Structure 1
Amino acid sequence: MKRAELTQALNALESSPSAPEELRGLLRELQRHQLELEVQNRELQEAQQALEESRNRYMELYDFAPMACVSLDANGCIRDLNLTGANLLGQNRSYLQGLPFTPFVDPTHVGRFFGHLRQCIDGETVSTELRLRIARKQVEVRLVSAPLDDSGSQERMCRTAILDITELRQMQVRLSLAERLAAVGTLAAGIAHEVNNPLAFLMGSLGLATHALRAPAPPSVDPELLAVARHHTGVAQALEALTHAREGAERIQDIVKDLGTFARPSASQERSVDVEQVMELALKMAMVEIRHRAHVVRDYTPVPQVVADSVRLGQVFLNLLVNAAQAIPEGMASRHEIRVRLRASNENVFVHIQDTGAGIAPDILEHVFDPFFTTKQLGQGLGLGLAISHSLVSQMNGGITVDSAPGRGSTFTVRLPAAPAARPLPVPSPPTPPSLSLQRGRILIVDDERSFGRTLRLMLMDLHEVTYTPSAKEALGWIREGQRYDAILCDLMMAEVTGRQFHDALQEQSPEQALRFIFMTGGAYTPSSREFVERLTLPLIHKPFRRETLDALLVPLLARA
């Protein structure tokens, strides 16, 4: 009955004297309930409209959220995802629904992905970092997953937010390199001191050798007798002086090699690492900061190897050692110490670096691992050393903590996961090294550093027929005209034509000669040359090098001549 009809019937009943009072009351009650139902219906319609609007807003927020969202089932298949997720994976959303997620995961991280998924399906909210491969491009992401509570379904699901952290990781690499170079810059004056010492006696020894061979003859001595005496005495003195000069050059070479280890950027390469060996290298680098402030106490116990990246672990140790040294005033080295302890538990290795410096106040202690936090004066640091160290150790599945108080120094503890114990293998008797039987050959040297090229030619021409040119174009011309060489020594980095370009051209012109290459390098400076060196299959020798090292590379080439 409509409202108008009900009102009309009610009025008719009320005006009719024969209508029972009870019936008229019932009609009035029905009218009241109808009014209430109309109000409730209007409220329900408004609530439904608001709910629909809210749902639409949610779907817009979900679809266009700045992070990718994916719903995964227990098998790792995509049940639902937002538009941001589809854009990240580079496919249409309808095409992706129902497909497994694993084809987008880097093969080396598939196990980590399933472990993460299993924890989420079991009811945990978990987070992990993975590498995805999308359209032949690597994307670093962080997955944050929570169980999806759907009471209408018995199937277990998880909702996963995918955050693209590729740029963040690249920024961390750049900051890490900046801090590493800042650490090397901090040590620059001390490194100059370390280089100048061997350089001084290298130059002095070369001077002695020159003087011994060119000493003027006293006028009162028989010329023939003097010539014999000068020959034996001068040669002996020259050989002794040159031996000292060589020792000085080797010390400089070691220092430069250590500097290169810390300044060179590298991709993370985790493997079994000897902690003591990495620590000793870091101590050598930090000693220029330490020696005027404290003496080093090594408290080592046998520890297993750890799973880490040796270069990045070395950077962590260097940062901690330099910080420890700079917490101690100069000039009182006999009263202060930096103690380095190595300890191990069942699953971890612990490295403790303890100093007797001023210590850290409690209000500062809680911020020491914050990026850009520093108590040093302007220009003495970026405030990134400890933050980057903390990040690097975390990436190696370890941890770093500090214990300090004013007046009692500081102790930084690095925890690293021990490498799985390998079964001991029988140690064979060391083979007797074969004696080098170096045949005479035709050798071409290509290096735009003329002094080095001429020196190398002089070094080899006692046994070989040696040709030198600073121009790769000239060398290509000789080979094009028919010249053939048993070995080609070529510098990797040259100004006009690089060693790589020379080799590429030679592969087209004379493939057999291209197989006789030995690359020489003083350091691969450009990203492309560094990448070339990493996948190089031909011999590579690093400058400076010994004659015996070069001879070992020449033997197989000259044997095929």
Structure 2
Amino acid sequence: MPEYASLSRAELARALESLDSTPLAADELKRLLRELQRHQLELEMQNRELQETQHALEESRGRYVDLYDFAPMACVSLDGRACIRELNLNGASLLRRERPHLLGQPFAPFVEPRDQGRFLQHVRQCLLGEMLSTELTLRVGKDRLLVRLHSAPFDGGEPHGHLCRTALLDITEQRQMQLRLSLTERLATVGTLAAGVAHEINNPLTFVLGSLQLAARRLMNPSGSAEQETDALLKHLGDARVGAERIQNIVRDLGTFSHPDERPPEPIDVRQVLELSVRMALGELRHRARLVREYGPVPGVLADGSRLGQVFLNLLVNAAQAIPEGHADQHEIRLRTWAEERMVCVEIQDTGHGIPAELLDRVFDPFFTTKAVGKGVGLGLSISHGLVKALGGELSVESEVGRGSVFRVRLPMAPALSTASSPPSRQEVPRRGRLLIVDDEPLLAQTLELLLEPQHDVTVLHDARDALEHLRNGTAYDAILCDLMMAEMTGEQFYDELSRTAPEHTFRIIFMTGGAFTQKARDFLARVPNARLQKPFQQEQLDKLLARLLR
């Protein structure tokens, strides 16, 4: 019998055709031989087809493995116990372990503890047939990575059964970039308002200085009775105090928008936040339009006042810049608040130039702006849209060229809180105590000493190292007023050193800060329980804190 294994597929087909054309032999043996030859050729052809199919499958599988292993994102397949069954090279790199050591291991230990319940629920829902996404934090060594999970169910066959196939995108840098852009836009907005804020400060500052000059003049050249002079001095000093308090409020409002720290959401009144934003934007608003308020009663919303204030500030500045300067009597910016369907609504309407209909769909896109060069980079509305969405609300716009625009913020109402009132606390008068002031600003320390000396025994030291030595020597104080930011030794360093050498004094420290402190200082204040005073502060605030330590 001929050997056919070495023939090509085409040669086998031609051999089969030639066999069919051979005349039938009378001999039965020749007939059987032809049948066997036919079957052998058919089997060889089928075998060749199977080999070609297997080769194609192997090539396809190889391409799939390459695509999977070298995919630009981390990929992992998890079974019903959330154990790793498949993992590509990027996945192993993300987890910073060798792939063989990860296969079969549970994935949960890599998930931040507070996110583990959400992670396991995500896997369960995927195995039940859902395609879903979520964000959570991974613990990889000493690092924390923010990742977005995109998962889909997959039949892994024997022995794994149904799997949750997940792509992990590391969005840590992306989120940090978003935060930096958010801060940049916020500071750019504050920069835009700097001239207006300076105007707001210069007005009260002028009559603060004037009132102090008048008081000094009355002291040097008295012209009436002692009682008249005393009344005049008290009036001038009272005016100076009112002006100083106005400056204090302006600076505090400015700090609300410049601090990048995250605060836990709390129930707030949108009207108060809107008014704070109006005060910040007044320099932009006053020369362009009349301000009309239509504030209806609204319940609180659960939000961070700083972030929500940034949204309102961006919308107010946009409204102002849509109106030409110098025609304030012809234009208005109308502010409205109302509640509907469990939502709190805030509307900012202007009579500016409006937005063309073909551009309305793009106003919330990053870096899109219709303003002139130097008036913004096109991030304000995009960031505002993201902040409102993160609060579970929505930001929308209606506009008509030549008639103006309406920006509308809708936020969910805060959950109802118990209104049970507690009895008013009795005002405590602090007993006379021994106080230590640690501040490298001599004039501020001297002022505090003069304010506190009538009620307390006060010691002032301008160097934190001297204060440490003073306390190590056994001198006891009821309270220690310490500046947070000092040149030679910071308040944080003073606290840490005191914790090592005389820890019994640390709880008596009250930190004082002017607000312009670093992220490191903010982190420090977040981890220690000590009271703190924001400069400038009133003596009443200080007395309340001292009362707690002097009981």
Common topology (TM > 0.5): yes
Deviations 1:206-234 (A, max 9, x none): 111111111167xxxxxxxxxxx453222
Aligned counterpart, 2:410: 415
Deviations 1:436-460 (A, max 9, x none): 1431x33322211122112222222
1:315 and 2:310 correspond: yes
Q: Aligned match of 2:112 in 106, 116, 135?
A: 106
Aligned counterpart, 1:56: 62
Q: Aligned match of 1:240 in 216, 235, 243?
A: 235
Distance change (3 Å), C-alpha of 1:92 and 1:270: farther
Deviations 1:216-255 (A, max 9, x none): 67xxxxxxxxxxx453222221111111111111111111
Q: Aligned match of 2:293 in 280, 294, 298?
A: 298
Aligned counterpart, 1:275: 270
Deviations 1:339-369 (A, max 9, x none): 2333434443333222221111123222212
Q: Is the 8 A contact 1:438 1:551 kept in 2?
A: no
Which residues in structure 2 correspond to 1:145-156 (within 5 Å)? 145-149=151-155, 156=162
Q: Is the 8 A contact 1:438 1:555 kept in 2?
A: yes
For 1:143, the aligned partner's letter is: L
Aligned counterpart, 2:8: none
1:285 and 2:255 correspond: no
Q: Aligned match of 2:359 in 333, 351, 364?
A: 364
Aligned counterpart, 1:536: 528
Q: Distance in 2 between matches of 1:518 and 1:147?
A: 56
Q: Aligned match of 1:186 in 185, 192, 205?
A: 192
1:65 deviates by 1.7
Deviations 1:362-382 (A, max 9, x none): 232222122112222222212
Which residues in structure 2 correspond to 1:115-134 (within 5 Å)? 115-134=121-140
1:543 deviates by 1.2
1:452 and 2:441 correspond: no
Which residues in structure 2 correspond to 1:309-388 (within 5 Å)? 309-388=304-383
Q: Is the 8 A contact 1:524 1:533 kept in 2?
A: no
1:518 and 2:510 correspond: yes
Q: Distance in 1 between matches of 2:20 and 2:185?
A: 95
For 1:494, the aligned partner's letter is: M
Q: Is the 8 A contact 1:131 1:139 kept in 2?
A: yes
Aligned counterpart, 2:549: 557
1:269 deviates by 2.8
Deviations 1:129-174 (A, max 9, x none): 2223333532211111223256889954432211110000000010
Q: Which stretch has the larger CA shift, 486-495 or 250-259? A: 486-495
Q: Aligned match of 1:165 in 157, 161, 171?
A: 171
Q: Distance in 1 between matches of 2:423 and 2:550?
A: 30
Q: Distance in 1 between matches of 2:76 and 2:47?
A: 38
Aligned counterpart, 2:489: 497
Distance change (3 Å), C-alpha of 1:139 and 1:268: farther
For 2:202, the aligned partner's letter is: N
Deviations 1:101-128 (A, max 9, x none): 4443334434543554455344443222
Q: Is the 8 A contact 1:14 1:24 kept in 2?
A: no
Distance change (3 Å), C-alpha of 1:416 and 1:21: farther
Distance change (3 Å), C-alpha of 1:306 and 1:155: farther
Q: Which stretch has the larger CA shift, 162-171 or 303-312? A: 303-312
Unaligned runs of 5+ in 2: 6-11
Q: Distance in 2 between matches of 1:4 and 1:493?
A: 92
Deviations 1:260-298 (A, max 9, x none): 111001136334343233222222222221222222333
Q: Distance in 1 between matches of 2:483 and 2:299?
A: 40
Distance change (3 Å), C-alpha of 1:209 and 1:42: same
Q: Aligned match of 2:393 in 375, 380, 398?
A: 398
Distance change (3 Å), C-alpha of 1:273 and 1:91: farther
Q: Distance in 1 between matches of 2:112 and 2:133?
A: 17
1:497 deviates by 1.0
Q: Which stretch has the larger CA shift, 144-153 or 176-185? A: 144-153
1:435 deviates by 4.2
1:199 and 2:205 correspond: yes
Q: Distance in 2 between matches of 1:391 and 1:532?
A: 29
Q: Distance in 1 between matches of 2:510 and 2:24?
A: 124
Distance change (3 Å), C-alpha of 1:398 and 1:22: farther
1:2 deviates by 3.8
SS of the residue corresponding to residue 334 of structure 1 reads helix
Q: Which stretch has the larger CA shift, 477-486 or 172-181? A: 477-486
Q: Distance in 2 between matches of 1:335 and 1:13?
A: 102
Deviations 1:418-442 (A, max 9, x none): 33334x34224434x3241431x33
1:211 and 2:206 correspond: no
1:40 deviates by 4.9
Q: Distance in 2 between matches of 1:51 and 1:4?
A: 25
1:430 and 2:432 correspond: no
Which residues in structure 2 correspond to 1:219-234 (within 5 Å)? 229-234=224-229
1:193 deviates by 0.5
Unaligned runs of 5+ in 1: 218-228
For 2:500, the aligned partner's letter is: E
SS of the residue corresponding to residue 537 of structure 1 reads coil
SS of the residue corresponding to residue 328 of structure 2 reads coil
Distance change (3 Å), C-alpha of 1:82 and 1:270: farther
Aligned counterpart, 2:500: 508
Q: Is the 8 A contact 2:362 2:368 kept in 1?
A: yes
Aligned counterpart, 2:9: none
Q: How many residues align?
A: 543
Distance change (3 Å), C-alpha of 1:261 and 1:408: same
Which residues in structure 2 correspond to 1:68-83 (within 5 Å)? 68-74=74-80, 76-83=82-89
TM-score using structure 1 length: 0.87
Aligned counterpart, 1:222: none
1:468 and 2:460 correspond: yes
TM-score using structure 2 length: 0.88
Q: Is the 8 A contact 1:121 1:147 kept in 2?
A: yes
SS of the residue corresponding to residue 329 of structure 2 reads coil
Aligned-residue RMSD, C-alpha: 3.3
Q: Distance in 2 between matches of 1:57 and 1:154?
A: 23
SS of the residue corresponding to residue 366 of structure 1 reads helix
Aligned counterpart, 2:91: 85
Q: Which stretch has the larger CA shift, 400-409 or 527-536? A: 400-409
1:30 deviates by 6.4
Q: Which stretch has the larger CA shift, 463-472 or 351-360? A: 463-472
Q: Distance in 1 between matches of 2:528 and 2:95?
A: 34
1:313 deviates by 1.7
Aligned counterpart, 1:221: none
1:181 deviates by 0.1
1:33 deviates by 6.6
Distance change (3 Å), C-alpha of 1:481 and 1:427: closer
For 1:467, the aligned partner's letter is: T
Q: Report percent identity of matched pairs.
A: 57
For 1:426, the aligned partner's letter is: A
Aligned counterpart, 1:220: none
Q: Is the 8 A contact 1:492 1:521 kept in 2?
A: yes
For 1:438, the aligned partner's letter is: R
1:407 deviates by 1.9
